[in-house]
Structure 1
Amino acid sequence: MTPVGGLVERAEFMTPAALRPRQAAAWRAQARHVAENSAFYRALWGHAAPPPELARLAELPLSDKAQLRLSQAAHPPFGDYLAAPRAMASRLHRTSGTTGQAMNLALSARDCRITEAVGGRGHAAAGLTAQHTVVHCLNYQMWMGGVTDHMTLEATGALVVPFGVGGTELLIRTIREVGINAISCTPSYPAVLERTLAEKFPGLAPRDLGLKLGLFGGEAGLDDAALRARIRETWGMEPRNANYGVSDVFSNFAAQCEHDTRLHFMAADVLWPELVDPDTTRPLPLEKGAKGELVLTHLVRDCQPLVRFRTGDIVAVDETEPCRCGRTGFRFRVVGRSDDMVVVRGLNLFPTMVSAVLSEIGELSGDYRIVLDAPPPHDRLPLHVERAKGSPDSPGLAARVAAAMKEKLGASAEVTVLPPGSFPVTEGKTKRVIRSEP
């Protein structure tokens, strides 16, 4: 066991008991660092000293994105939770801004190395090796998913092609000319490539590109077995949920392996997870069968350490025993986001639940939007869906979709069926819940 820049080598394969002393020592050092250098957390904690034991972490108040936004507005550009001299920051990123105003992220050289190594664990688990040439198709323009995820791909030893977003025709030509056999992108991006192939490269099928491994992240969708099957059938490549992260914390700290489609938690040596009830914030045991909002604490972070940070992601813990692959982190699914949850007559609905129902209706493309043009409460789910290409207009389709929603989810839906291609295709994150501005 050799510490490397704050990391424990092969920590993802170590038992919780073996990791516990390292976690305890890391938190004691981190607690001192935060208490001495983060004005934000000193104020949040009422200038009290944080508990030195991880078992007592829940004594501290939670922190959240809204507080960080206020901190950055009052103390630009990094907020008063910057806990290191500005000269120590070696890289600036921004969050995607999908759920609100984008945040400035400062990382020290050590923060960068740890982030890249942890993300590399995830991509390696998902099957990326030095034998792959992988094209990275996420936004390089300041977003953590660009340069940082590029470096996590390199951490596996793979040859990485830094493509980014845009220029889909050039991407298709590059894949063919270079012999690229893996792609890193969002789950919705293959549909963009398919449309470009049909329009600009007639006679060239997705399978003809020779991609064998799809490393997906950045948005929900890959838990849907129908989507995975469609990718395998259409592209001839194995889809892997390879990149789950929270930009303010780590760009990638969980991924699936070849044996299990659930996400494996990969960062136990540098990141402490908790679950809380999203409504009451009451701590919940992190055990098999538990479901709650994921809360994260950096055990090693120089520039912007976060303590008991509410991610907004609702996760279900499916397994805590070691996986067949040998990795020991708990395995989980992201059920949805607390800010994407729509309550319809007392039912808590998430986009992933809606997607699972729509994927079973062959006349639909699978793309959809939940359009909320009125404040809650909602009596019906306002759902806009899109017909699949080549599917005829059927006057009874909306009623059948509504019936499926009622049967599967128990929710009444007001369904609008749109022609194929109605929704804009995107190379970044696709926002499924559209809320009217207040």
Structure 2
Amino acid sequence: MSLVDRAEYRHPAWLLEHQQAAWQRQAFHVAQNSAFYQGLWQGRTPPHDLHDLPELPLSDKSQLRQSQAAHPPFGDYLAAPRRMANRLHRTSGTTGQAMNLALSADDCHITKVVGGRSHRAAGLGPGMTVVHCLNYQMWMGGLTDHRTLEATGALVVPYGVGGTEQLIRTIQEVGINAISCTPSYPAVLERVLADKFPGTDPRDLGLELGLFGGEPGLDDPAFRERIRATWGMEPRNANYGVSDVFSNFAAQCAHDTDLHFMGADVLWPELIDPDSGAPLPLTDGAEGELVLTHLVRDCQPLVRFRTGDIIAITATEPCKCERTGFRFRVVGRSDDMVVVRGLNLFPSMVAAVVNEFTELSGDYRIILDGPPPYDRLPLSVERAEGATSDAAMGDAALAARVASAIKHRLGASAEVTVHPHGHFPVTEGKTKRVIRSDQ
């Protein structure tokens, strides 16, 4: 095992010696035991210096899918005897084939420790009671994130998804003051409160802290303000991870809405151009696709793995909270990017515009009925609760205003359809914003 105590507070230069030593052990482990990387590297020896990792080829999700299809259930990138596997998870499969994830006992422990750093940074700690509302049915975000919540010293209520009406009663009866869920779930709670608990305001539940993850949206100031105004709780982006690599290794703190990288002792990050794969400097202002390498992992170690997440580096100096990891925000996923007349658009960018309209609920879908190229952005939105179409602001007029705002803010033409409140199905897990006809 290779963890550094309080690694999130260590200076990067101080950590480098540890990282290099960890990589030496990990490189040997992968080269000796991973048939997948033996084939990908074609006899090349992994470099001794982490800064020379770009000498090795990139790996990606499509390769892992092929590996698991050919060598079920864990793929030939399983680099430890199956008897070492202590836990099995499965990815959500929102972007394709669900993947089986194997973790050893050490892998599980390291995941808990690093995830605990993230939830502590976001404000959770001893004396607090948090209800965890992510899917426990094999998804990494369920049991694994439950254990990271426990690592903060908080009392954790393992609720999962579904049963929203009973969840509200549980929050009231137990005195829960924090919730861990997706950013879209509070809207579901609001609907159930209005329907089943008339006269009960969201603020009446007494939630003080919202620990969000699993979906984009937390970068938008309008969304954050809506949560504060409606619920009276502080929204924190507390749970950023990449399931195939690491459940949770970044979160915001009380001083900064950007994500802090918390896993420097166990993960080596790179930035690449998403089109060419060329390395980019990890410096202030840089933007590119995040690539990760395990510095310690028994069962399914990954080297130069393309996460598909496009991130922007916002700061590399220490934060006011004294954590030293670089800070970043997620621009979007490469597979959720929609190109409209040469403009690269991500759901988070569209959400920022939609959330400016008080007449709208904030829920939306981008429905792509055919293959690219696209001349217009096909956007469906719904009215806010209690907001109805009238002569002064009919659906057509509201749609025109939204389209105009998208044109002004994003530079793209949009074809906007306005639906009544409650049009979109209630989603208690991840909400998929981009719907493609070929998926």
- Shorter-chain TM-score bucket reads over 0.9
Q: Offset of 1:419 from its aligned partner?
A: 1.0
Q: Separation in 2 of the partners of 1:48 and 1:278?
A: 24
Task: Name the SS of the counterpart of 2:78 in structure 1.
Answer: coil
Please give the per-residue CA displacement for 1:346-398, whole angstroms capped at 9, x wherever unaligned: 00000000011111112111111111011001011111111112212113111
Moved more, 284-293 or 361-370: 361-370
Please give the per-residue CA displacement for 1:83-134, whole angstroms capped at 9, x wherever unaligned: 0000000000001111111000000000000001000000000000111010
1:372 aligns with 2:373: no
2:170 alignment counterpart: 174
Q: Separation in 2 of the partners of 1:47 and 1:218?
A: 38
1:261 alignment counterpart: 257
1:229 aligns with 2:225: yes
Amino acid aligned to 2:359: E
Structure 1: which 4+ aligned runs deviate by more than 4 Å? none
Q: Offset of 1:142 from its aligned partner?
A: 0.1
Q: Determine if contact 2:250/2:262 at 8 Å carries over to the other structure.
A: yes
Aligned residue-pair number: 434
Q: Offset of 1:68 from its aligned partner?
A: 0.1
Determine what percentage of the aligned residue pairs are the same residue. Answer: 78
1:408 alignment counterpart: 409
1:283 alignment counterpart: 279
Task: Name the SS of the counterpart of 1:8 in structure 2.
Answer: coil
1:132 aligns with 2:128: yes
Query: Of 27, 38, 41, which residue of structure 2 is paired with 1:42?
Result: 38
1:336 alignment counterpart: 332
2:112 alignment counterpart: 116
- After TM superposition, the structure 1 = structure 2 runs for residues 372-391 of structure 1, keeping only pairs within 5 Å, are 372-391=368-387
Q: Separation in 2 of the partners of 1:329 and 1:30?
A: 22
Query: Of 287, 292, 302, which residue of structure 1 is paired with 2:288?
Result: 292
Q: Separation in 1 of the partners of 2:368 and 2:150?
A: 41
1:272 aligns with 2:258: no
2:49 alignment counterpart: 53
Q: Offset of 1:52 from its aligned partner?
A: 1.3
Task: Name the SS of the counterpart of 1:426 in structure 2.
Answer: coil
Task: Name the SS of the counterpart of 1:339 in structure 2.
Answer: helix
Say what the alpha-carbon RMSD is for the aligned residues. Answer: 0.7
Q: Determine if contact 2:388/2:420 at 8 Å carries over to the other structure.
A: no
1:213 aligns with 2:206: no
1:92 aligns with 2:88: yes
Q: Offset of 1:227 from its aligned partner?
A: 1.0
Q: Separation in 2 of the partners of 1:15 and 1:425?
A: 44
Amino acid aligned to 1:11: A
Unpaired segments ≥5 residues, structure 1:
none
1:421 alignment counterpart: 422
Please give the per-residue CA displacement for 1:31-84, whole angstroms capped at 9, x wherever unaligned: 000000000000000022111110110000000000000000000000000000
Q: Separation in 2 of the partners of 1:276 and 1:243?
A: 23
Query: Of 56, 74, 77, which residue of structure 1 is paired with 2:70?
Result: 74
Task: Name the SS of the counterpart of 2:401 in structure 1.
Answer: helix
Q: Determine if contact 2:183/2:218 at 8 Å carries over to the other structure.
A: yes
Q: Separation in 1 of the partners of 2:61 and 2:359?
A: 39
Query: Of 155, 163, 182, which residue of structure 1 is paired with 2:151?
Result: 155
Q: Separation in 2 of the partners of 1:293 and 1:55?
A: 17
TM-score when normalising by structure 1: 0.98
1:435 alignment counterpart: 436
Q: Separation in 2 of the partners of 1:39 and 1:166?
A: 40
Q: Separation in 1 of the partners of 2:234 and 2:32?
A: 47
1:243 alignment counterpart: 239
Q: Separation in 2 of the partners of 1:396 and 1:83?
A: 59
Amino acid aligned to 1:279: D
1:318 aligns with 2:314: yes
Q: Separation in 2 of the partners of 1:337 and 1:87?
A: 35
1:362 aligns with 2:358: yes
1:12 aligns with 2:31: no
1:305 aligns with 2:301: yes
Task: Name the SS of the counterpart of 1:390 in structure 2.
Answer: coil
Q: Separation in 2 of the partners of 1:224 and 1:185?
A: 17
Moved more, 202-211 or 259-268: 202-211
